[in-house]
Structure 1
Amino acid sequence: MGRPISPLSQASSTTPYRTARPRWWHRGRRTGGPPLRLRPRRSRWAWFTWTLVTLLVLVALVCAGGAWLYVSSGRQLQHVDALGEYAGRPAAGKGTNWLLVGTDSRTALTPQQREELHVGNNEVQNTDTIMVLHSGEHGPTLVSLPRDSYVPIPGHGSRKINEAYADGGPKLLTRTVEQATGLRIDRYAEVNFLGFVQVVDALDGVRLCLDAPLKDEKSGADFPAGCRRMSGAEALAFVRARYADPEGDLGRVKRQRQLLGAVADEMAAPSVLLDPDRLTRVRDASLAALLVDEGADLARLLDMGWSMKQIAGGGGTATTVPVHRPGVMVSGVGSVLPWDENGARELFEALRHDDRIPTSGTK
């Protein structure tokens, strides 16, 4: 009787060679290299799991930081009584209307700051900047109302629109704008001289471009043509210049829109948003400078900021209310800007119905 055949020998004699070895061994043999050692699947899943857990932790930390920033910012928000009901108030239209105001209040300025900013000792509080920001279906629209606009101020007769703030504060200014435009103002935001300067400085300046040199002794502006990064004091001088501008107040409102766009663009830059220290500094300066109506919260404020960012990026429309004849002299009032009645009515009617605004007569 012959020797019994072992199972291994039988397999080797009756089964092709490649099936008698693990597949990984044959892959190594076929390529001429040493047998491959496959990493156990458990290790790969462990790596994936720890990566996922790490990402989730990072997201949670970012969300927690964002929530803390949101809550703490809401606590710093300052409110003012700016809106109110009265007989004949315009009905609510479509979309949301913000009244954006820049005041020339100097009460908080030191003598040194007054000198640096080229502002006098006049304590009368007027408004250097008045704009209506409309947000609706067709994107945001920013309309500048020149400070010398000649409109009726309730209880004070027809005067320059910027005097409404001096006569009755935010509430009278809001009512004046509502009655002059036919728009119901839903939200109100106000920034003063010093606060504006501090916001720009917290951003480490903003980049502004001039097509022609700008020199105005009264505002302190003295800039060559071209692009440059301006500090808070320089930006204020840039935006307040009007006496050396051939367009006067109309030229100034264009620079106001340019500066607001530059500030909004800078605030949304990664160099601010991704730097916690800088973001906190900018946030604190902005909230210290800002007053909003009593119904406004941080969510609405962020919506407004996003609209301004869109306009700065060319995703919205910026214009000025059409005027009839610039530089009209009125006894006891001075040089004023009467609105073009037909052009202004068409503009504000379009905003009230959230239609696209007419392009003729606006710029």
Structure 2
Amino acid sequence: MEPGRSSSRGSGGAPPRRPRSSSTVAPPAPKPKRKRRRVRVGRLILAVLLLFVVASVGLLFYYDGKLHRTEALVPYAGRPADTPGTNWLIVGSDSRADLSDDQRQQLSTGDSDGSRTDTIMMVHKPPSGSAMIISIPRDLYVPIPGQGSHKINAAFNFGGPQLLTQTVEQLSGVRIDHYAEIGFGGFDSVVDAVGGVTICLDQPLNDPKAGLRLPKGCQELDGRQALGLVRTRAFPNADLERVVNQRKFLNALMAKATSPSVLANPFRLIPFVNGAVDALTVDKGDHIWNLMGLAWALRGNPITTTTPTGGDEYTDDGDSLAVGDNTEQFFTYIRKGLPVPEDLLSGTGGVLGG
């Protein structure tokens, strides 16, 4: 080896290590999996929500197709034009036609033939403000188209829902937009489906004709007891006090039906919807979403009142209630969509507290 020259090999004869180039590319880092998992979970949630929406819409149309329908709202000469707000005619029929002998005995309905209206209510949803539940006394003596003057509940017996609706429209000048009817055979099942309704009585009730024996105070009524409560006339003011109880009970039933204890419980909600669909008859143009809107409007604190009258009078139909100037004044406010003055309202009375 020449002096002053270093060897290209180490002492062991191995070649020297070359320094790594600074341009050498590092291996790629593994892709994070968290984002991919989030995407999968998001898609799963979206799919579940979509399935829920599709199923809900499907059930909505399924139950809508099961509703019993009738031609209650039909055109006729002189029918009132559209009036502000939305107006329902709600009828409680006393027909026993669909009841078996056992049901008649269990519900204490008696054996009367024919079909009249134990309950006539107008539900008015004004353009703004609270909804109103308006009882129309069945003894109100009014002209019935083609039949002369009679108590208003006779209109249903003469011509069914069509004639009753026409009679109410001619009396009030208010256009009826929706119709709902419930009979003895369905009312009790609807109440039982929501697990009963809690009511508070200001006095005990004992009416063997209605199969009713209830103590004073707060208690939960099943369907049979509730039917007896809305039917009984065992009061000094008979029908006038009964219609107050009917309004209060309807309000309590709608509040229970739209409460979380029912809406969030399929074991309550589904039987209630089944019971309501089986029990109700609506106009051919009505749908289940209209009924849902009605229930929601009545769940809060609606104004409840009885149609004002001109007082007692004796007619060919016996003891009746006359149509007075206050009757016309009352319905003038309704058909104009205006608040009804306090002096035309009569929401107090009845045996139900509140």
CA distance in 1, matches of 2:54, 2:266: 13
Q: Indicate the residue corresponding to 2:241 in structure 1.
A: 251
8 Å Cα contact 1:346/1:358 also seen in 2: no
Specify the alignment match of 1:342 in structure 2.
325
Aligned length: 316
The amino acid that maps onto 1:129 is T
Match of 1:329 among 307, 314, 319: 314
C-alpha separation between the residues in 2 aligned to 1:322 and 1:69? 42
Match of 1:183 in 2: 174
Deviation at 1:59, TM superposition (A): 2.4
Question: Residue 120 in 1 paired to residue 103 in 2?
Answer: no
Structure 2 gap segments, 5+ residues each? 1-29, 347-354
Give the whole-Å Cα distance in 1 for the aligned partners of 2:33 and 2:276.
50
**2-side partners of 1:355 and 1:45: how far apart?**
58
Residue 218 of structure 1 corresponds to which residue in structure 2?
209
Task: Report whether the alignment pairs 1:317 with 2:303.
Answer: yes
Give, in whole Å, the separation in 2 of the partners of 1:181 and 1:52. 56
Of the candidates 138, 142, 145, which is equivalent to residue 133 of structure 2? 142
| Residue 163 of structure 1 pairs with residue 151 of structure 2 | no
Instruction: Provide the C-alpha distance between the structure 2 equivalents of 1:226 and 1:58, rounded to a whole number of angstroms.
Output: 47
* Aligned mates of 1:43, 1:209 — CA distance in 2: 61
**Residue in structure 1 matched with residue 24 of structure 2 by the alignment:** none
SS of structure 2 residue aligned to 1:134: strand
Tell me which protein shows more helix as a share of its residues. 1
- Structure 1 runs, 4 residues or longer, greater than 6 Å off: none
Aligned-partner Cα distance in 2 for 1:300–1:123: 32
Change over 3 Å in CA distance of 1:137–1:46 after alignment to 2: same
Distance in 2 between residues matched to 1:303 and 1:41, nearest whole Å: 52
Amino acid at match of 1:83: L
Which sits farther off after the overlay, 277-286 or 54-63? 54-63
Does the 8 A contact of 2:88 with 2:178 survive in 1? yes
Q: Structure 1 counterpart of 2:207, which letter?
A: D
Distance in 1 between residues matched to 2:34 and 2:337, nearest whole Å: 56
Superposition RMSD in Å: 1.9
Give the corresponding residue for 1:77: 67
Contact 1:199 1:289 in 2 (8 A): yes
Q: 1:289 to 1:43 in 2, by over 3 A?
A: same
Which residue of 1 is the match for residue 253 of structure 2? 263
Give the corresponding residue for 1:229: 220
C-alpha displacement of 1:57:
3.6
**Which residue number in structure 2 is paired with residue 151 of structure 1?**
142
CA deviations 1:157-198 (Å, max 9, x no partner) are 221111110011011101110111111111111111111111
Report the secondary structure of 1:265's partner residue. helix
Deviation of 1:220 after TM superposition, in Å, equals 1.9
Q: Select between 134-143 and 193-202 the one with higher mean Cα deviation.
A: 134-143
Deviates more, 1:101-110 or 1:130-139: 130-139
Residues 139 and 152 in structure 2, CA contact (< 8 A), matched pair in contact too: yes
CA contact (8 A) 1:153 1:159 kept: yes
Q: Would you say the 8 A contact 1:80–1:292 is kept in 2?
A: yes
Tell me, which stretches of 5 or more residues in structure 1 are unaligned? 1-39
* Residue number among 174, 191, 209 corresponding to 2:200 in the alignment: 209
Normalising by structure 1, we get a TM-score of 0.82
